[in-house]
Amino acid sequence: MTFKEKIDCLRFAFALCNKFDKSIYPVAVLKWLCNAIVPLIPTFFSAKIVDELVGARDVKVLIIYGVFMAVLIAVFEFFRHLTDRAMEDKLELLHIYEGKVFEESIVNKDYELLEDVDFQTAVKAYKVVYQNNYGIFYNMWFFFGNFITGMLSLLFSLILVGPSIIKCFEIDNSSFLTSYKPLVILAVSVVFIGFIMILIGNKYSKIMNGLTLKFNTLFGIFSYWYNFPLKYQNGKEIRIYNAQEAILKKRNESLNDLYMWDKKSFDSQAKYTSILMVFQMIIMGMFYLFVAIKAYAGMFGIGSFVLFLGASLQIAEGINLIGNISTILGMSTQHISYLKRIVETPQRKHIGTLPVEKRNDNRYDIEFKNVSFKYPGTDEYILKNFNARLEIGQHMAVVGKNGSGKTTFIKLLCRLYDVTDGEITLNGINIKKYDLKEYMSLLSVVFQDFQLFSVPLAQNVTTSLEYDKEKLYDCFDKAGIKDRVEQMHDKENSVIYKDFDENGIEISGGEAQKLALARALYKDAPFVILDEPTSALDPISEFEIYQRFNSFVGDKTAIYISHRLSSCRFCNNILVFDDGRIVQQGSHDELVQNTDGKYYQLWTAQSQYYI
Ligand code: ADP
């Protein structure tokens, strides 16, 4: 990451902090001030007390120094603890807040980003940071805490020893010890060593970043295997296919990899912190030598001697903290970059503004005009020069073998993806121009991989907390699941699955499909699309469900998709897909007569299984 990118990451994180809680700044500043001042108080007063003891030995003055020292330490320690606690609370809340920012960003992103590999990589990396590193803010504030506390320690220590240093300039060049030369040597050496410490910190930062990235990946793999047997949905396959041993082996291997990598990070951390500590000791040693020389030459009183010793410790520590900054900055900005990437990834889709005309007669015509499409990041066209018209009230079927582009056609229709070339129009206007949410409200789709959620049935079907109970039961009825719901202990309020509720209901695959159909009916949109949600059923059941569903659809425009031709026989208008194109169109009777056509070929191939 370049320096500018790091700054951009910090800017991004501060903008989030500002939005959430600006009061973190005064709390942090007070905490850093206390951290820098507290260790210097006893140093300062010890020097004063020593001076008094070897000087006037006035008991009153000694008591005053003692009392002042105690009071100041108590006050600053009090504020230090208070601000420590307040800071912890604020970081906790910030952690919750960034989780919210992440989730809001994910649910509002274009669907196609959820299938994008790079975006998914950032999401996975951020999830590890969120769970494993207390999110982005903890490290960032740690970084600033170290940096500013280090600076303040340095500054206050220099102020404390300032008068003694000034004394060194009362030039007495009679000997090397009393001249200003030792001070110059000290200053030049400290700056030089401080510079080396920053360089070492920088190298350490790069190594740590690499180690952390790999650690995060390994942690993701370990989490997967750790959670695998805990998910009850995996329980059946694990037992039936006797996968216990393989899973535990995978889990142990991933834990071992994680442990080895963690150890490597710790070793590396220990190595670099030891090196930095040695340099810190060298700085302290130089200060001690300087003070000893000056005291020996009679330039420092014993008080200044004590003061210098105490302050030199803080100066060396301050330099060490500053030396560490590039490491923490590198790690912190790396973590921030994941969330920044997720939040700032622009929406790919054009979000239109045109309202969709509300029509009671549902006169909405959709037309695909010369549409071609390839998935982002791929070269192969899935649909090529595709033309189709969905007329009001039409009940249409789309058939074709797996992989011929049927679902892709529906994804484009729903604007989950936008076309690569050509256009799709609604009542003659490009669908990109319509307000996306309004446009989507026209469509009700049940996909093959539809999802039900671990919430009450009613919320699953209505996707809302408030709903029309009568309409809900009407939809249960039409979907053929009303009796089953009425038998459940909490009726429509029964929670499905056991993720959150131990009384959660396990439903069969067929029941899940019926609930998904009820959801499509409840939305009451002018277009309803069934994209093989029943493909796991036998052909006769699929045919029955499609036909039954069709009887409730009324004057809505309906599209039925299946790779099984028998399921869609009842439709007068059947589109036959092959390799991303419509190769035939017509009713079953018309299509089956063309013995050279794709439909006939598929029909004869499939019908032998039904006879
Ligand atoms: P069908 O519904 O007829 O079975 P699909 O529309 O699902 O076919 O798939 C058509 C082709 O598009 C397949 O070759 C499939 O591999 C490819 N495809 C589907 N989804 C993606 C995706 N997200 N990225 C890249 N290729 C995809």
Q: DSSP string spanning 537-593?
A: S-HHHHHHHHHHHHHHHTTSEEEEEES-GGGGTT-SEEEEEETTEEEEEE-HHHHHH
- Ligand 1 centroid–CA 351 distance in Å is 24
Instruction: State how far the Cα of 452 lies from the Cα of 307, in Å rounded to an integer.
Output: 70
> At what angle are helices 244-296 and 302-323 packed, to 10 degrees?
150
Beta-bridge partner residues of 576? 399, 584
Closest alpha carbon to 32 in 198, 204, 149: 149
CA-closest residue to ligand 1 atom 13:
403
- DSSP letter for each residue of 472-496: HHHHHHHHT-HHHHHHSTTGGGPBB
Number of Cβ within a 10 Å radius of residue 121: 13
- Ligand 1 centroid–CA 422 distance in Å is 19
Residue pair 458/472 in contact by the 8 Å Cβ criterion: yes
For 403: left if phi > 0, alpha if psi spans -120 to 50, otherwise beta; the answer is left
- Ligand 1 centroid–CA 167 distance in Å is 81
Ranges assigned E (strand) in 201-241: none
Q: State the pLDDT at residue 102.
A: 95
Which residues make Cβ contacts (< 8 Å) with residue 16, sequence separation at least 6? Answer: 97, 98, 101
CA-closest residue to ligand 1 atom 11:
403
Q: Residues enclosing ligand 1, CB less than 6 A?
A: 115, 375, 378, 382, 400, 402-408
Atom of ligand 1 nearest to the CA of 531: 2
Instruction: State how far the Cα of 537 lies from the Cα of 509, in Å rounded to an integer.
Output: 9
- How would you label 483-503 residue by residue, b for 16+ Cβ within 10 Å and e otherwise? ebbeeeeeebebbbbeeeeee
Residue ranges for the chain with pLDDT beneath 70: 169-172, 348, 360-362, 535-537, 608-611
Ranges assigned E (strand) in 366-497: 366-373, 383-390, 395-399, 421-426, 429-430, 443-446
Q: State the pLDDT at residue 589.
A: 83
* Proportion of the chain in helix, strand, coil states, percent, rounded to 5: 65, 10, 25
Give, in order, the Cα–Cα distances in Å from 495 to each of 3, 449, 488, 594.
51, 20, 10, 51
Residue pair 196/279 in contact by the 8 Å Cβ criterion: yes
CA-closest residue to ligand 1 atom 27:
375
Closest alpha carbon to 21 in 84, 83, 87, 78: 87
Backbone angles phi, psi at 479, to 5 degrees: -80, -5
Closest alpha carbon to 496 in 548, 453, 467, 462: 453
Instruction: State how far the Cα of 206 lies from the Cα of 113, in Å rounded to an integer.
Output: 30
Which residues make Cβ contacts (< 8 Å) with residue 264, sequence separation at least 6? Answer: 211
Q: State the pLDDT at residue 103.
A: 93
Instruction: State how far the Cα of 609 lies from the Cα of 563, in Å rounded to an integer.
Output: 14
Sheet holding 527-531, edge to edge: 443-446, 527-531, 557-562, 395-399, 573-578, 581-586
Atom of ligand 1 nearest to the CA of 532: 2
- Ligand 1 centroid–CA 402 distance in Å is 9
Closest alpha carbon to 198 in 330, 334, 315, 325: 325
- Ligand 1 centroid–CA 406 distance in Å is 8
Atom of ligand 1 nearest to the CA of 405: 6
- Ligand 1 centroid–CA 404 distance in Å is 8
Atom of ligand 1 nearest to the CA of 411: 6
CA-closest residue to ligand 1 atom 19:
408
- Ligand 1 centroid–CA 308 distance in Å is 73
Select from 373, 407, 449, 568 the residue to mutate for testing ligand 1; criterion: most ligand atoms less than 8 Å from CB: 407
Q: State the pLDDT at residue 362.
A: 65
Give, in order, the Cα–Cα distances in Å from 225 to each of 48, 131, 218, 250, 253.
63, 16, 11, 7, 10
Instruction: State how far the Cα of 146 lies from the Cα of 156, in Å rounded to an integer.
Output: 15
- Ligand 1 centroid–CA 386 distance in Å is 16
Instruction: State how far the Cα of 581 lies from the Cα of 592, in Å rounded to an integer.
Output: 19
- Ligand 1 centroid–CA 19 distance in Å is 41
Q: Which two tokens stand for residue 508?
A: 């069969």
Q: Burial level of 465, CB count in 10 A (0-12/13-18/19+)?
A: exposed
Select from 373, 375, 448 the residue to mutate for testing ligand 1; criterion: most ligand atoms less than 8 Å from CB: 375
Q: State the pLDDT at residue 71.
A: 95
Q: What angle do CA 241, 243, 244 make, to 5 degrees?
A: 135
- Ligand 1 centroid–CA 408 distance in Å is 6
Beta-bridge partner residues of 528? 444, 558
Whole-structure pTM over 0.75, yes or no? no
Atom of ligand 1 nearest to the CA of 410: 6
